[in-house]
């Protein structure tokens, strides 16, 4: 996951710790919204499980359901709406490189609204 974190720092302009938190929030969101598909995708992303284990998501989950809840949580760590979109797009591109288009397509297809970031 160091590669993804580095890309977020370089391409989106966020601090490393914010990038790590954002990745954990997004992975947690994917697991909550599409557990079967997300677990398959996460297993193909080197270092994802270790990152989640080292940075467990905060208790309490998302204040509201779906993408709005995830977006709110991401903005809560200091990301602007533009950065939320950029981080999500960069993460999905990384996932495609590591897990393939089919695995990402399954997750995107299972979560309403996520296709706008794909």
What residues of the chain score a pLDDT lower than 70? 57-61, 63
- How far is residue 40's CA from residue 82's CA, in Å, rounded to a whole number? 28
In this structure, what CATH number is given to the domain that contains residue 31? 1.10.490
- pLDDT given at position 38: 94
- pLDDT given at position 60: 61
Q: How many domains would you assign to the chain?
A: 1
Domain that holds residue 11: 2-117
């Amino acid at each position: 996951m160091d590669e993804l974190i580095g890309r977020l720092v370089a391409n989106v302009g966020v601090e490393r710790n914010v990038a790590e938190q954002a990745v954990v929030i997004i992975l947690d969101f994917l697991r909550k919204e599409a557990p079967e598909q997300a677990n398959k995708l996460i297993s193909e992303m080197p270092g994802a499980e270790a990152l989640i284990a080292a940075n467990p998501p905060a208790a309490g989950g998302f204040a509201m359901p779906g993408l709005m809840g995830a977006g709110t949580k991401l903005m809560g760590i200091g990301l602007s709406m533009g950065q939320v979109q950029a981080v999500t797009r960069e993460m999905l591109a990384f996932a495609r490189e590591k897990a393939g288009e089919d695995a990402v397509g399954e997750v995107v297809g299972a979560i309403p609204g996520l296709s706008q970031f794909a």
